[in-house]
Chain A
Amino acid sequence: MKYSAVLVFALVATLAACSGAPAQRPAAQAAKTVTIAISSDEGTLTPFTNESGYPGDNLVKLIFDTLLVQKGESVAPSLATAVETTDNKVFRLPLRTGVTWQDGRPFTAADVVFSVEFYRENLSGDSAIDVRPIRTVKADGDAVTMTLAAPDPEFPLRILSDMAMLPKHLWESVTKVNEAGTDKAIGTGPFRLTAYDKERGYTLTANPGYFGGKPKVDTVKVNVIPQETTQFAALRTGEVSLSVRNVPPQQRASLQSQPNIGIAEGTEFASTMLQFNTTRPPFDRAEVRRALAKAVDVRDLVKTALLGQGTPGNPGFVHPESPVGGPALPPLFDVEAAKRELDALGAKPGPGGVRTLDGKPMSYELLVQSTSTDRLRSAELIRDMLKNVGVEIKVTSLDPDSLDTKVWPDYDVKKGRNYDLTMWGWSAPVMQTSSQIVSLFDSDPEDGNLNIGGFADAGVDKAIDELKATTTPEKRAEAAAALQQKIAEQLPFLTLYYRNGAYAYRKDAYAGWTWQNGLGVLHSGSFVG
């Protein structure tokens, strides 16, 4: 299938070269209709029924608004006009007045209180928000006050700018959230869902009374096209105006050469890493992990597997441009050091050049998702790099479900794990705030719910406690930087790279796409203002 896709692609390129290039048309700054291709169905587009974070959550947020929105690395007003806090524990949020739900009913503070309580009751759903840090929520006139269990300077970015407001009058009767129908997809956002059927996809119609201004596009059609190749073909014909697929580095040039196709690109915070099972010897020893990490040239991975379309991983995990920020740590790669350190560990080369550590040959299995081209390629490169220092890697490719079952059974780190090494990736939100990041490292499985390597280190736990105790943004940034430093030493996993985002669109259909780090181009900012 893959091979065929390449053949077809080559054919497209050849045919494209033969035919006369169509005339370039002017870029459209407003449009009647924009058609977006997504890869799979997204349910009824409520915060509880979309199927994926990206692009499902992005589509939901075109219909539903949040109290604040992410802007650059900070937050900006949306349904709330300001954030008032002195201690980062009690937040008072004055609400925008005169806002109505898309069915005409007014938006009130009662809706906000209801939303928080509703999320507390209903934990499932791709855009559902974990509101447990909010201890109380009270309405007072046109404002709400939220009190947290503990101070959290990142609360506005982490929760307030992500929590879609639900209309109380429609949602209070809902008991099974995953069966919420399209009649519940009523928000305050720039678009309303006017049609949904599995055959023709979704139709979103501009909400002329949107408080942020009338959207520049009248109708957004969203069609499901499972095949990447078909999506790009439909983009070439103009049947589709935007594909939500991240353009693979190999196809970029060919798409870009088309006169009417533009590529919107920017930084993405989805990360790819080499995960160690730190509960299984010898990966339970930081020295071993460090030595292996030094043998891996992450720059080369970006150059070879991503054709340069990415950023080499920061040993401290966090992308330098992420809101969490922090100093970029120096790269670890140093083959000679890796060899020296392995020697020092007593790992002498044995037969076939494979080192022996503690009486066992250094030969390990590396799992990789069979569906990911760049991870497959990277896994092979890593195998070759580790071979250089006398460590043998057997790459095993598995379908994602089988791999998850080995690495993260039931998505519950308490259930253990069964692997040596695996290629892994975290979605962008994991890097959004430092309180999110700590869940990767905390040795307590309740707090370290993303700690899939079973990593435990007293020093790191202490740094996490210190971070959690901070109450101001500045102090928290400092603590986050310290934590990153520790992670770069301990290396529960080696962060390999962050892929760049590159999304192809028809310039002649609509060219108003604006890039927002963490969201890409599919957000209300691309249509309003």
Chain B
Amino acid sequence: MPSIKRTKFKLSPEQLLEMFYWLKLIRAFDERLSILVKQGKVRSGVYTGIGQEAIIVGTGFGLRKDDYICPLHRDLGSFLMKGVEPGVMMSQMFAKTTGLSKGRDSALHSGVSDLGIFGNTSMLGANLPVAAGLALTYKMEHTDNVVVAYFGEGASNVGDFHEALNFAGVQRLPIIFVCENNQYAYSVPIEKSMAIDDVADRAESYGFDGVAINGNDVLAVYQSTQGALARARSGEGPTLIECKTYRWHGHSEHDKAFYRTNEELAMWKSRDPIPTFTTYLKGLHVLSDQQEQDIVERVAKVIDEAVEFAMSAPDPKPEDAVTDLYA
């Protein structure tokens, strides 16, 4: 494992603790969802990002409210970090009126324009041309805002990916393409779906830089993102950051994932981004055992309240099946 302390962009102890909180919260949220599926309380397809939290936190931390994010289907945590209440996200999974889509869809198929969150369809890669469109308007308006767009390595085989990157390269758009390379697209390992080792290499053919980094190292992700953000904000165009990681659960909660070995999973679990960061923070004396305990309790409370909120929220009314179709 590469060392965790590259520090070009400094973080205060408070910021480091906040990062720690987000890592814990996002992990706990997905873990709870997984249980709710097993209990039959959530009927939605649930695609957890357990094991990938360092990417969400490292890229999302320090984004401005008026920057835009275009998350992928595992990035529930991105919604939380950008300001959606946990209870609202939970309601989304419970198909309640208090969810983002008011029961019309589950998962992350909804967005919040005021918070700079684009909600994708299921169609993989379809968020990327939209991300380029959002970034184009920043360029038109000469602002220094940035779009951060996420995709899996599998989605980088979709035409939309290439069309979006090409356009972003031609226009030198203020956009960061974040690849969450978790090694598998559903059952298909990366070596069976592309003939190169690094998705990052794809950036070169569109005229901008791509870097491949350890996606389980929250500070490495943060440092890379900050560099790319600075370039994008100053008009230097896009960057592709490929974060190597691993998804611990199946593709969805219904997938037993027998296509991979227990050894492989165990190896990646030993690279769990959270304990690595915990040890680092404790070594710096930024995090005490007591503070850790407090954060764990705070997280549990937030999740409990979110579930409580969602479960007691009103169901949609049948007549709402045919509303909100046209403006």
A and B: bona fide binding partners: no
Residues of A within 8 A of B (CB): none
Where the two chains meet, the residues of B that have a C-beta atom closer than 8 Å to any C-beta of A are none
